[in-house]
A and B are shown apart, each in its own frame.
Chain A
Amino acid sequence: EPEVTQTPSHQVTQMGQEVILRCVPISNHLYFYWYRQILGQKVEFLVSFYNNEISEKSEIFDDQFSVERPDGSNFTLKIRSTKLEDSAMYFCASSSSQFNSPLHFGNGTRLTVT
């Protein structure tokens, strides 16, 4: 069964540094998402992406964050000037349609900011 893959599985970075989290969505999916989960808490929506542009973003997704689909397969989340509170598990997800099909999640990247 096709799956969403994320790299790296764990990223440690120093406060103020930039990180890029990578995702390869399922190949025939058209909608892509980033969610984050602070340890022990709920899964929070960050951004959705369709047709090479952001379709929705949450208030968490401020100027510190950006997303890109640099080629036909990868979907990236860039976090600039990382802060301690950015430490979380970041999940990429994809779906075939916007509202009535399941989200397929990757295994996540655990970001630790020190």
Chain B
Amino acid sequence: QQPVQSPQAVILREGEDAVINCSSSKALYSVHWYRQKHGEAPVFLMILLKGGEQKGHDKISASFNEKKQQSSLYLTASQLSYSGTYFCGTVRNSGNTPLVFGKGTRLSVIA
């Protein structure tokens, strides 16, 4: 069962912040975040494991609320290079389950 992402799309001006949310109805083992630019492969950003954690990577960070089965990706002081589609992927906490992606959030950063 795929995770649900919101919003579907967002437009930012350079320097603005954004939050992308990802939620699941099933207990999760881990949440992955990837960014895909048009015509390219998805590129890994970060993984958050159950136990609830928060990770950061430059001005992109994420949190995972295990109790709510929700993760959020935070983009601060956005740059033009942040434009792309962000996918969360989830691994369920029920044995041998694959990474399943949400429908993605299209982020456009404009000057």
Contacts and interface: CB of A to CB of B under 8 A. Distances in A.
A108 B41 contact: yes
Contacts of A8: none
A98 B96 CA distance: 9
Q: Summarize A's interface: helix, strand, loop or mixed.
A: loop
Contacts, number: 54
A105 B42 contact: yes
Interface in B21-65: 29-30, 32, 34, 36, 40-44, 47, 49
B108 interface: no
Interface size class of B (residues with CB under 8 A): 20 to 34
B40 A103 contact: no
Nearest to B42: A105
Contact of A55 (B47, B96, B100, B101): B96
Interface residues of A, number: 23
Nearest to A35: B101
14 contacts: A41-B103, A42-B101, A42-B102, A42-B104, A43-B87, A45-B99, A56-B96, A56-B97, A100-B29, A100-B49, A102-B32, A103-B42, A103-B89, A106-B41
